[in-house]
Amino acid sequence: MAQKAGYLLAITENTLEEIELSECFQIFENDKKVTAIYFKEEMTEMEDFIDRVENLEKPINLYLFSWCNVSEFESLFDHLEHITIKTIPQPILEIYKKIYNIVKV
């Protein structure tokens, strides 16, 4: 389901060609830009994700899944000028809550 949420972000960004898929991230592109999504709470593939993103030359809209403030991870990408870090929209966060079985009390 997390990957399906990534497809929703790709549609939102109009970057429909999936160029990379792993258990923790997805990367999509069109002829002008890239959408990169790290969708796992676990950081097991973050270094690989950063390496992949560093090698992309198009402008990148980057989405990082986190239950805490995403700004904690911004420093990982400070050296890259062509990246815009975006928050995951609330409807997609609701999908993540279902994935991780988080129920509102």
Q: Specify the pLDDT at position 105.
A: 41
Place of tokens 């989405």: 63
Digit-by-digit pLDDT tens for the chain (105 residues) are 556 778 889 999 999 999 999 989 999 999 999 999 998 877 889 999 999 999 999 999 999 876 666 666 777 888 888 999 887 777 777 766 676 665 554
Closest CA to 49 of 72, 26, 15: 26
Predicted TM-score of the model (pTM): 0.81
Amino acid at site 97: K
pLDDT of residue 85: 87
pLDDT confidence of residue 4: 72
Strand, coil or helix: 62: strand
22 CA to centre of own chain: 12
